[in-house]
A and B are shown apart, each in its own frame.
Chain A
Amino acid sequence: GQSLEQPSEVTAVEGAIVQINCTYQTSGFYGLSWYQQHDGGAPTFLSYNGLDGLEETGRFSSFLSRSDSYGYLLLQELQMKDSASYFCVPLQGGKLIFGQGTELSVKP
C-alpha cells in the first residue's frame, strides 16, 4: 500500500522561492521522483532522489530523508511558466504511483 501527502495548492510570486513538501508511506520504497505537468500536457521528469540528501538541477532542487519518509522540491527564482502541477512520486517495486499533486500558481 501507499499513502502520500503534499499540499494541494501553493501560490507564490515571480522571483520568489517555494518549497513543496512530501511525506510518504510506501512499502518497497526505492526512491522519490518529482514530475511537473502543465494543464493538458504530459508529465515531465524533474529529479530523482535515490539516496538521502539534496539533488540540484538548475533552479530546481530536491531533497530526501528516508528516515523521516520525507522529501521536498525547492523551486527558486520562480517564473510564470512554473505554474503547473507538481507530483512527488515514490518508486515502489519498479512502478511510479502518482499522488494528487500540488498545483502551483505563480503570480506577477
Chain B
Amino acid sequence: GAVVSQHPSRVICKSGTSVKIECRSLDFQATTMFWYRQFPKQSLMLMATSNEGSKATYEQGVEKDKFLINHASLTLSTLTVTSAHPEDSSFYICSARPWPGQGIGELFFGEGSRLTVL
C-alpha cells in the first residue's frame, strides 16, 4: 500500500519556540493532505486540509496563525506549530489521499508526531 512518512516522530521543545513537522507521501502524489491532532484517549480531530499550491483550509476553531501549513509540492506538506505552549502538546497525524485516487474513502496516515511542550 501507499506509504506516508512523518517526521519527527517525537519532539520536545520549550514553551515559546516553533516546531515544524513534515509529512511526505513516499510512493504517490497527493494533491490533498489532512492534518489531525489527537489527545490521549480521544478521537482524531481534523485541523486542516492542505492543498498543494494553495492555502490550507482550516476547521472551525483552529488558529491558522498558530498552526501554519505549507503544501509546496505533491509529496510534501508541513505543519509548523508557532510559539508552542504546553496546551499544544498532542499527537499530530497527517494523512494523504493518493491522486489519481484509487479509493475516495481511503486515507493513508503517517506514523504521527508526538509533541511535548515544556
Contacts and interface: CB of A to CB of B under 8 A. Distances in A.
Interface in B80-118: 93, 95, 103-112
Interface in B12-70: 32, 34, 36, 42-46, 49
Contact of B34 (A44, A48, A95): A95
B6 to A, nearest CB: 8
Interface residues of B, number: 21
Nearest to B4: A42
B105 A98 contact: no
Contacts of A96: 34, 46, 95, 105, 107
B103 A48 contact: yes
A107 B111 CA distance: 27
Given A31-B104, A32-B105, A42 B34 contact: no
A89 B109 CA distance: 14
A98 to B, nearest CB: 4
A87 interface: yes
Interface of B: 32, 34, 36, 42-46, 49, 93, 95, 103-112
Interface of A: 30-33, 41-45, 48-50, 87, 89, 91, 94-101
Given A48-B106, A98-B45, A99-B43, 8 more contacts: A30-B105, A33-B106, A42-B111, A43-B95, A43-B109, A45-B103, A96-B95, A100-B43
